[in-house]
A and B are shown apart, each in its own frame.
Chain A
Amino acid sequence: MLPAMSEDTTTQTPAPAPRRLKRSSSDRVLGGVCGGLGAYLGVDPIIVRVVAVVLAFFGGAGILFYLAAWLLVPSDDPTAKAAPGRAATIAGVVVLVLAVGSLLPFRGDWGWGAGGFIVSVLLVGLAGLAVWRLASGERATGGGADVVRRAGLGVALLAASLILAIGGAWAAATDGATTIAIIVILAGGALVFGAFFGGLRWLIVPALALALPAGVVAAADLDVKGGVGERVYRPASAAALRDHYRVGIGRLVLDLRDADLPPGDHRVRVEAGVGQVLVLVPSDVCVASKAHVGVGATEVFQRENGGVDVDWQDQRSAPHGTPRVIVDGDIGLGDFQVGENERRDHGFDEGAGVGTNDACGAARRG
């Protein structure tokens, strides 16, 4: 008797579960969207985060996409659904308010203005959340109120750091650079100490807020000791021409067009911390110039250079019997301009009035 073939002896492998996009609860920075997307696509979540950050600079697309995914994509943590009022709910409400606010058919003071305000509040809140996350090392978990509290603390820390940044930059630009540098070193030392004994991680953001603007001030050679405002000097003779003019923040105009300059060299140094230096010369005077601009531009007889760390040099020799003005400029943040006339809009005339420095002989442009 043959055994009954009542049972199917073939083994069946269970069909693989369909791969679903879920927010990661184990690899998360905010809502676990990038972590989940990275796992879904099989790529490193860091790459996804970098792409999201890059997209954030294209009209905020990355931010909106992230918040929408935070709201719509479920978490891989089964207990997450049982916790109402989580961060995703907050983000969802904010996104909906943002969407409705952007679609409101208002004009003028409302409409896009209100949407822009909401976007600003949203971005500030997210920045605060990120700052608090960095400062405390704690994740943005828990209820919505907890997330809002952390974001608020982060915004407060951000605001305090902003004040610190402005104050530090001002101090660094007014003879306090050494003090600021020592404070930054001490803050770094305190953080190293805190790494072993705890409790000082919050110091990272204020220390960076103090150090980075001070670095910008140092790189720009910013010096605002010369006062604030507009300084206009019109020396009538070589004897009245000083060797040094300075303005801290503002505009410095050295007008030599009516100066009686005898043949020979006349050296003058002009400095501005933040602002514009304008040197006006008569057409029968040869001008040799050099300048350093931390951030900004030089415009010397229609020749323009701009950017950061701008070094201009235009060494010219004057024919015998021709006066030569040698201008040495140092501008932290702003413009250095030399010409024969002031332009009516912002600089010089576009035409022949600008001058070509024809009074000079051979030129060697740097």
Chain B
Amino acid sequence: MRAEPRAVARRPDPTSLVAGLAIAAFGVVLLLDATGTLDLRFAALAPLACGVVGVILLASGLTRRD
């Protein structure tokens, strides 16, 4: 009797997942600014951009340690 091949669950890539969510969130902010819902200033952009890049790099670095 042959054993059925066990399906291996694919682990999501944390870097892509975090990057996707962060970039999508950044895009939403850009969209809100473009539609006039909010007025994006550098005072908000700087921490936002650093946050996006930072979480991506962090996710990339932590992934490598697995």
Contacts and interface: CB of A to CB of B under 8 A. Distances in A.
Contact of B34 (A178, A188, A196, A294): A178
B13 A198 contact: yes
Interface in A171-220: 177-178, 180-198, 200-201, 204, 207-208, 211-212, 214-216, 218-220
A191 B24 CA distance: 9
Contacts of A137: 13, 15, 60, 63-64
A52 interface: no
A295 interface: yes
Contacts of A211: 23, 26-27, 30, 52
A189 B16 contact: no
Nearest to A214: B30
A345 to B, nearest CB: 28
Interface string B38-52: 001111110011001
Nearest to B17: A195
A201 B33 contact: no
Contact of B35 (A178, A214, A215): A178
A215 B45 contact: yes
A212 B26 CA distance: 9
Interface of A: 27, 29, 46, 134, 137, 139, 177-178, 180-198, 200-201, 204, 207-208, 211-212, 214-216, 218-220, 294-295, 308-309
Given A137-B60, A208-B56, 18 more contacts: A180-B30, A181-B30, A185-B28, A188-B22, A188-B26, A192-B21, A195-B16, A196-B12, A196-B17, A198-B10, A201-B13, A204-B19, A215-B40, A218-B45, A219-B41, A219-B44, A219-B45, A309-B42
18 contacts: A134-B57, A137-B13, A178-B35, A181-B30, A184-B30, A187-B23, A188-B19, A188-B22, A188-B24, A189-B20, A192-B17, A196-B10, A201-B15, A204-B16, A211-B23, A214-B30, A218-B40, A308-B43
